Structure 1
Amino acid sequence: MTAVPDASAARTRTAVVTGASSGIGAATARRLAAEGYRVVLAARRKDRIEALAAELPDAEAYRLDVTDRAAVDAFAAELDARHDSVDVLVNNAGGALGADPVATGDPADWRTMYEVNVLGVLNVTQALLPALTASGDGTVVVVSSTAGHGTYEGGGGYVAAKHGAHVIAETLRLELCGEPVRVIEVAPGMVKTEEFAATRFRGDAAKAAKVYEGVAEPLTADDVADTIGWAVTRPAHVNIDLLVVRPRAQAANHKVHRTA
């Protein structure tokens, strides 16, 4: 019997990466571009994603706030109008604010974290799911966190939001069973990027540095990007449901080896 050629293999596959202006998002865009994907960079800071797009062989930059549903729908509609395929969606936009206990946490911070980490994932996934399904071999990646799988003091708002992101991935996988779309969750532990802790502590460099104090080798953005790239490039019938990645020094959210 003569094999039927895979149409998707003959064309350049497209990956949309949210939160692509820095950190894990930018590193993931570079990794997927190296794998031969045409990368669509989506983030709020257009200058940054335009600079990154200029580095990559086949990339485009779109200014996008994932919490703005109208903007997300317009973004999806533009891709559809141009007949652009969408084969991979990496839901990376997210972040943490503050480290206050539940008793004194700022509800505005909790709301902001929920909107970007949960509703942002929902918005972009809903908007691009028809295109991902139509590709015949789509992949949704949710970059959650080990915070989505275990609590720690001072992390209530972020933990709650990342639990929400985890549940979206878990539920979507059940609901898409039988459809040609994989749902992958990558949950990083301690990652040292240029902005995550600084943003969490509103620019307080001393507090940000203390997060990584005494940890010789926390994960890097490239470490997580390699993990995402590996999971995405498995054969189409292979789904990496959940991949937790931590530095060797971190056994759990609350147990980290620190040198003197």
Structure 2
Amino acid sequence: MTSTMSKILIFGGTGGIGESFARALHKMGKKVIITGRREDRLGSLAKELPGLETYTMDNSDLGAIPRHANTLIAKYPDVDTVWVNSGVQYQGSFKSLDGFGDEKIINEINVNLTAPIILARYFVPHLISLGRDEGTTFMVTSSGIAFVPAGLFPVYSPTKAGVHSFMVGLRQSIKGDDANINFIEIVPPYVRTDLDVANRLWHAITPMELDDFTRDTLKELEKPAKELKEVAAGTAIPRVRAWRDAFNPLLRMGG
């Protein structure tokens, strides 16, 4: 699939998985546009990677997403791949009111689930309208936790499960053969990034190295896009396989 990707827009590209793939795709000669909240980080990446384009936005500001989406579509009308990667993760307990603040719950749901759905609303029709022979692609990063929840992350887990369900539904409701668009869910395991900087588990669980995750995922993305639904790596692979083996017989509409 990577051979048909020409211009890629990555939401959340200033660190972790988003930055790693932005670097890798830029190195492959792709045109890459990244978004992020931190203007200083966007600026430093643009200086380091000639030709990389950047756009400042905060996915937690749901009311501003339509304006940003329309601006990006107008500025990059020929973008053929949109990847929603931005996300936040909090640990907490519901045993007491002190374990989880309302603002964290709202922010985690907004960034991880609501924002990707709103972005899909704006970008999926545009990607379809391109009528590109090679097809277009809409991708969202979920998590192995979407398939087997983790009690340490009581809000993050359902937001990622929601992303997975949303992507299955998109495939079912918008036929790839008719619209020539592919919906691909990127499923990382626990990866060594700053996502969980406040509550790292590195002392208890060995994370997959970011470079290894990027390499393995790009290898999978070399396959034809029509063959790809969930693209997993590391310990997320058996989780995805178990779900597919259990539910494939029930997914009669190509989800």
Specify the TM-score bucket, using the shorter chain as the normaliser.
Answer: 0.7 to 0.9
Q: How many residues align?
A: 230
Secondary structure of the corresponding residue to residue 86 of structure 1: coil
Q: Is the 8 Å Cα contact of residues 33 and 52 (structure 2) preserved in structure 1?
A: yes
Does 2:113 align with 1:124? Answer: no
Farther off after superposition, 78-87 or 124-133: 78-87
Partners in 1 of 2:222 and 2:72 — Cα distance?
Answer: 23
Deviation at 1:24, TM superposition (A): 0.5
Question: Structure 1 residues 80, 192: closer, same or farther in 2, change over 3 A?
Answer: closer
Partners in 1 of 2:191 and 2:229 — Cα distance?
Answer: 21
Deviation at 1:149, TM superposition (A): 0.8
**Residue number in structure 2 paired with 1:183:** 183
**Residue number in structure 2 paired with 1:239:** 227
Partners in 2 of 1:26 and 1:71 — Cα distance?
Answer: 23
Deviation at 1:192, TM superposition (A): 1.1
Structure 1 segment 167-206 matched on structure 2, within 5 A: 167-177=165-175, 178-193=178-193, 195-198=194-197, 201=198
**Residue number in structure 2 paired with 1:153:** 151
Equivalent residue in structure 1 for 2:208, among 219, 236, 251: 219
Does 2:26 align with 1:33? Answer: yes
Q: Percent identity?
A: 24
Secondary structure of the corresponding residue to residue 58 of structure 1: coil
Q: Is the 8 Å Cα contact of residues 91 and 154 (structure 2) preserved in structure 1?
A: no
**Residue number in structure 2 paired with 1:58:** 51
CA RMSD of aligned residues (A): 2.6
Secondary structure of the corresponding residue to residue 142 of structure 1: strand
**Which segments of 5 or more consecutive residues in structure 1 lack a partner in the other structure?**
1-7, 202-206, 253-260
Structure 1 segment 57-96 matched on structure 2, within 5 A: 57-82=50-75, 84-96=77-89
Secondary structure of the corresponding residue to residue 71 of structure 1: helix
Query: TM-score w.r.t. structure 2 length?
Result: 0.80
CA distances 1:25-67 after superposition (whole Å, capped 9, x unpaired) = 1001111112322111111112112211222242211001123
Q: Is the 8 Å Cα contact of residues 50 and 60 (structure 1) preserved in structure 2?
A: no
Secondary structure of the corresponding residue to residue 156 of structure 1: coil
Deviation at 1:246, TM superposition (A): 2.5
Partners in 2 of 1:251 and 1:244 — Cα distance?
Answer: 9
Partners in 2 of 1:105 and 1:79 — Cα distance?
Answer: 35
Question: Structure 1 residues 70, 153: closer, same or farther in 2, change over 3 A?
Answer: closer
Partners in 2 of 1:83 and 1:89 — Cα distance?
Answer: 11
- The one-letter code matched in structure 2 to 1:132 is L
Secondary structure of the corresponding residue to residue 41 of structure 1: strand
- The one-letter code matched in structure 2 to 1:152 is A
Deviation at 1:72, TM superposition (A): 2.6
Partners in 2 of 1:31 and 1:176 — Cα distance?
Answer: 30
Deviation at 1:94, TM superposition (A): 0.5
Q: Is the 8 Å Cα contact of residues 16 and 39 (structure 1) preserved in structure 2?
A: yes
Q: Is the 8 Å Cα contact of residues 28 and 228 (structure 1) preserved in structure 2?
A: no
Higher helix share: 2
- The one-letter code matched in structure 2 to 1:242 is E
CA distances 1:184-210 after superposition (whole Å, capped 9, x unpaired) = 1121111111x2121xx3xxxxx52xx
Equivalent residue in structure 2 for 1:165, among 163, 166, 172: 163
Partners in 2 of 1:185 and 1:224 — Cα distance?
Answer: 14
**Which segments of 5 or more consecutive residues in structure 2 lack a partner in the other structure?**
240-255
Q: Is the 8 Å Cα contact of residues 67 and 123 (structure 1) preserved in structure 2?
A: no
Secondary structure of the corresponding residue to residue 17 of structure 1: strand
